[in-house]
Amino acid sequence: MKPFIIKLCITLALLLFASLAISVQSLEDKLNEAHRLLTSNPEVSGKHLKELESEQSNFNEVQKERFLLYKSHNLLLEGKHSESILYLNRLLEGSNNKATKAQAYSMLAVVYTNTSEFMNAFVSIEKARLMLDGLTDEKAIKTVLANAATIYTEVGFVDKAYEFSNSYLKEVSKAGIAKELCYAYFNSAYIEIQLQNYEKAQEYFSIALNNCEKSKQELFFTVASQEIASILLMKENDINHLNKLKELQDKIKDINWDIAEVGGLIKIAEANLRLKKNKEAIKYAEKAFSAETTDNYLPHKKEATRILATGYSNLGDNDKAIEYYQLYIDTERQIQLQLKQRKMAYFIAMQSME
């Protein structure tokens, strides 16, 4: 009987191992799919992550950390900032992996930037940057550089954003992975827009477009297409570019990202204004102005009120033009005040790190 028992135990062990291997592989596949969809289809990615939530007890340590990173990223995209911060803090408290912590701090900085907690944002991104010293994990290095570029772009520190964006672009160019090149060139192009280097921006958006298409990054592909159409419209007042913007707007709606949708409305409004279609410009600008996210996102508020003031002025409605022009001036003042406050927050944050 003894050999039979031993054989049975070995068989059970092999079955358990096989079952565990299949389970781990299955979890790995689900994590990979959730990660792939994070920026291309956040809603579907969220569903994958919700399913994985109940399987956390089956994760190994690496999978657990990956899940927490992806979940916090997805919550950020959904605008659930408090929950995102909870998941990231949980990851930081439980991990001893330097590469994982660097990524978590950089993601935490992005969340704090979204909630306008700039002192915390600058401290977090500086902690992440300091962890780059001696780090060999390419993914972590690229994540930190990408998030640093995003943060400094968002807060209006264009020089620092440019520095990190160039470093990120150099880093991703080494491996030449399409998904990474998609985001790197997109980010660099966006910064060139801020610097009013439109030719360079168009070049970078075109390279981004090619790589976003290859890697099936629908969101970045669509927004990059919008940016190119807007730049082309600045060069030549061709109605075909306006039609392209409208077509792309429908795709943005399907992706379901509020900020990108409002950005698209503003581009269409600006295009109509350039083509002297003032009533259409006002229609789209009013949609952008009344959107739920606009009141808290001043760059959109500034652009929407500028277009409305100009459109009403062109139509001879001076009362409306003055009303929106005053809102435009007030918003510009708020932006400048914010910039001063952010510079002060950055200065204090850097002192606290010494």
- The per-residue b/e assignment along 158-192, b for 16 or more CB within 10 angstroms, e otherwise, is eebbbbbbebbbebbeeeeeebbbbbbbbbbbbbb
Query: What is the average per-residue pLDDT within 118-139?
Result: 93
Residue 7 has pLDDT above 50, yes or no: no
Q: Where are the domains of the chain?
A: 50-175, 217-354
- The per-residue b/e assignment along 110-137, b for 16 or more CB within 10 angstroms, e otherwise, is bbbbbeebbbbbbbbbbbbbebbeeeeb
Q: What percent of the chain has pLDDT over 70?
A: 92
Topology of the domain comprising 50-175: 1.25.40
Q: Do domains 50-175 and 217-354 have the same CATH topology?
A: yes
Six token digits for residue 219: 């969101």
Per residue in 162-173, pLDDT (tens digit) is 999 999 999 999
pLDDT at residue 39, as a whole number? 66
Per residue in 264-322, pLDDT (tens digit) is 999 999 999 999 999 999 999 999 999 988 888 899 999 999 999 999 999 999 999 99
Per residue in 55-99, pLDDT (tens digit) is 777 788 888 888 888 888 888 888 889 999 999 999 999 999 999
Topology of the domain comprising 217-354: 1.25.40
